[in-house]
C-alpha cells in the first residue's frame, strides 16, 4: 500500500483513495491506532473495493470499522439510485435490520437490590429465548407469518404488545411500506416463523444497565434519562429469516451480474443495479426482514415488561426511548451540489444520526436530533448520543454503531478462561445468564475496542453528541 492512498485531512478524519480502482474517496473517521488496524487487516482492501462499486457517490467508514463480509463492518456506502447505482446484500449484512432499542424505567439502582437483580435476570432469561436455535412461544402457520411480516409493528399494536404512541419511537415507525413477501423464499419463512421474540446468539444481548453519567442534561431530560436510573438495552435483529434472505439474494446476484456488465473484485460484493428487477425483489425482501426485526425487538420488549412487573410489581414502568437500525439499506433523497439525488444508503454496522428537526424524527425528538445508541461489550460502558447537523452535512446523516470487534471468536476461545472471566465480571458487579459458555467467552470485553474511544471520535468530529453513559449490571447472552 502506498502512503498516498491514505491521507489525514484533519483531526480524526482520513481519506482513502486508490488510483485506478476507486471511483471516489472514502472518508474514514478514526485515530492513528484505528488507522493502523485498518492497514494491518483486510479492512483497507474492503474499503477500496467499496469505493470502486458502480454508481457510488459517497463512502464513509466509522471508527468501529473491522473486516466483514464483502463490505467492512462500520461502513456507509451511498449509490445513485437512478444512474445505475448498485444495491449489494454485502453492504447490509446477513442480519438485516440488526439494531438497538433502549428502554427506560422508573427505578434507580437503589431500588434494584442484588437479590432482585438476580431474580430479574432469571425471569428475563426464562421469558426471552436465546441462542442459535432459539425458538419463541408465538406459533404461526406460514400464511399467518406472511401477514404478520407485512404488518410489522402494526401487528404488535393489534395484539396489545405495543401502543400507537410507542411505534412512533421506532425508526420508520417499524413498518416498511415496500414489502413483497412473494419475493421471500420458503426456506426463509420456515426459519423465521418460530423465531419471533428471540434474542439469537453472538454479540446480541439483553442488558440491564444503570445510567452512570449524564453529559447533556437538557437532551437527557427530553429522552427521559437521569443518573442512577435503571434502563434496559436490547440488541438483536432478524434472526434466521434475514440471514436466509441475504443468502438467497447473494446467490441470485452472483448469477445476475454478467447481465448488467458488472464486475467486482470480490464475489462477496455481489450486486445489481438497484432499479433492476433483481434489485427491486431484494429491496422488498430486505424490507420484510426489517419488519421482522422491529417486531422481534418489540415482542422482546413485551416480555421484558412482563418480567419486570412479575419481579418488582405492577407499578414498574418500562418505556421505549427509541429503536434504531444499523444493518439496513434505505432509498433516500439527498442534496448533492444543490441537486436533489436519490441514493441507496447502505448501512453495514452504521447508524443514522439525523439532525434536529429532520422530517423523519418523531415530534418529541425533533428539538434534539435522533437518539443514537452505541452498545459496548458486556464488561464496559454503552452510550447514548444524538445526531447533528454536522453529521447530515458530512456523512449523509450517519455515525458509528458499536465498539467494533478486534479479536475473532476462535481467538477468544483460545485466550479466555470462562471461570476467570465470570469472576472478573462479578467483581465489577455484572451478572451473566447465557445459553452457552462458548458465547460468553467469544464475547469477552477484550474481543472489542472500548466503546468509549469510538464514541469519543464521533463526538470530536461532531457527527454525534454524547448524552449519557450506561454501565452494565446484568447481561443475558445467546
At 7-47, the pLDDT tens digits run 999 999 999 999 999 999 999 999 999 999 898 888 999 99
Q: Which residues pair with 448 in a beta bridge?
A: 405
The 10 Å Cβ neighbour count of residue 75 is 27
The pLDDT of residue 1: 47
CA distance 312 to 408: 39
CA distance 179 to 478: 29
Q: Compute the mean pLDDT over every residue in the chain, rounded to the nearest whole number.
A: 95
Instruction: Provide the b/e sequence for 362-392 (b: ≥16 CB within 10 Å).
Output: beebbebbbbbbbbbbbbbbbbbbbbbbebb
Cα-flanking dihedrals φ and ψ of residue 86, to 5°? -85, 165
- 3-class secondary structure, 127: helix
Cell of 118: 438476580
The pLDDT of residue 189: 97
* pTM of this structure: 0.96
What would the mean pLDDT of 218-241 be, rounded to a whole number? Answer: 98
The pLDDT of residue 447: 85
The pLDDT of residue 253: 98
Cell of 380: 464496559
The pLDDT of residue 478: 75
412 Cβ contact list (under 8 Å, min separation 6): 441, 442, 443, 444, 446, 447
Question: Using one digit for the tens of pLDDT, what is the confidence trace for 64-112?
Answer: 999 999 999 999 999 999 999 999 999 999 999 999 999 999 999 999 9
CATH topology of domain 3-477: tRNA-splicing ligase RtcB (3.90.1860)
Contact present, 127 and 336 (Cβ < 8 Å): no
Each domain of the chain, given as residue ranges in start order, spans 3-477
Going 107 to 109 to 111 to 114, the CA torsion angle's sign is positive
CA distance 447 to 418: 14
In 247-299, where do the E strands start and end? 272-273
Q: What angle do the packed helices 43-51 and 32-40 form, to 10 degrees?
A: 90
Q: Is the pLDDT of residue 200 over 50?
A: yes
Residue 453 burial class via C-beta count within 10 angstroms: exposed 0-12, middle 13-18, buried 19 and up: middle
The pLDDT of residue 4: 66
Q: Is the pLDDT of residue 2 over 70?
A: no
Active site residues per annotation: 401
Percentage of the residues of the chain whose pLDDT score is greater than 90: 85
Amino acid at each position: 500500500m502506498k502512503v498516498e492512498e491514505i491521507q489525514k485531512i484533519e483531526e480524526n478524519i482520513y481519506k482513502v483513495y486508490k488510483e485506478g480502482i476507486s471511483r471516489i474517496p472514502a472518508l474514514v473517521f478514526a485515530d492513528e491506532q484505528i488507522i493502523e488496524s485498518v492497514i494491518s487487516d483486510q479492512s483497507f482492501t474492503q474499503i477500496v473495493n467499496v469505493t470502486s462499486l458502480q454508481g457510488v457517490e459517497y463512502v464513509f467508514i466509522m471508527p468501529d470499522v473491522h473486516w466483514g463480509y464483502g463490505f467492512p463492518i462500520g461502513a456507509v456506502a451511498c449509490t445513485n439510485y437512478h444512474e445505475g447505482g448498485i444495491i449489494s446484500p454485502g453492504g447490509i449484512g446477513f442480519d438485516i435490520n440488526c439494531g438497538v432499542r433502549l428502554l427506560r424505567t422508573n427505578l434507580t439502582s437503589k431500588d434494584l437490590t442484588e437479590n432482585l437483580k438476580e431474580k430479574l435476570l432469571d425471569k428475563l432469561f426464562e421469558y426471552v429465548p436465546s441462542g442459535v436455535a432459539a425458538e419463541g412461544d408465538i406459533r404461526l402457520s406460514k400464511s399467518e407469518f406472511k401477514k404478520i411480516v407485512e404488518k410489522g409493528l402494526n401487528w404488535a399494536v393489534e395484539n396489545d404488545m405495543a401502543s400507537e404512541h410507542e411505534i412512533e419511537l421506532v425508526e420508520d415507525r417499524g413498518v416498511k411500506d415496500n414489502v413483497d413477501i412473494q419475493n421471500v423464499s420458503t426456506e426463509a419463512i420456515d426459519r423465521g416463523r418460530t423465531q419471533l421474540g428471540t434474542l439469537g446468539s453472538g454479540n446480541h444481548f439483553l442488558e440491564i444497565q444503570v445510567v452512570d453519567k449524564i453529559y447533556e442534561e437538557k437532551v437527557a431530560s427530553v429522552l427521559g434519562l437521569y443518573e442512577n436510573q435503571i434502563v434496559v438495552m436490547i440488541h438483536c435483529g432478524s434472526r434466521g429469516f434475514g440471514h436466509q434472505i441475504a443468502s438467497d439474494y447473494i446467490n441470485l446476484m452472483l448469477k445476475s451480474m454478467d447481465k448488467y456488465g458488472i464486475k467486482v473484485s470480490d464475489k462477496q460484493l455481489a450486486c445489481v443495479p438497484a432499479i433492476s428487477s433483481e434489485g427491486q425483489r431484494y429491496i422488498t425482501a430486505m424490507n420484510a426482514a426489517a419488519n421482522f426485526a422491529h417486531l422481534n425487538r418489540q415482542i422482546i420488549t413485551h416480555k421484558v415488561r412482563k418480567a419486570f412487573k412479575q419481579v418488582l410489581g405492577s407499578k414498574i414502568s418500562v418505556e421505549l426511548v427509541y429503536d434504531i437500525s444499523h444493518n439496513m439499506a434505505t432509498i433516500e433523497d439527498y442534496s448533492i451540489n444543490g441537486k436533489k439525488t436519490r441514493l441507496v444508503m447502505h448501512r453495514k454496522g452504521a447508524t443514522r444520526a439525523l439532525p434536529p428537526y429532520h422530517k423523519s424524527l418523531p415530534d418529541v425528538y425533533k428539538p434534539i436530533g435522533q437518539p443514537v445508541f452505541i452498545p459496548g461489550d458486556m464488561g464496559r460502558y454503552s452510550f447514548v448520543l444524538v445526531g447533528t447537523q454536522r453529521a447530515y452535512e458530512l456523512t449523509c446523516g450517519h455515525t458509528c454503531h458499536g465498539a467494533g470487534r478486534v479479536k475473532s471468536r476462535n481467538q477468544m476461545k483460545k485466550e479466555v478462561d470462562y471461570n476467570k472471566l465470570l469472576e472478573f465480571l462479578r467483581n465489577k458487579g455484572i451478572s451473566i445468564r447465557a445459553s452457552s459458555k462458548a458465547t460468553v467467552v467469544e464475547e469477552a470485553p477484550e474481543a472489542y475496542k472500548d466503546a468509549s474511544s469510538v464514541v469519543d471520535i464521533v463526538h470530536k468530529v461532531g457527527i454525534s453528541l454524547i448524552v449519557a453513559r450506561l454501565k452494565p449490571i446484568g447481561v443475558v447472552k445467546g
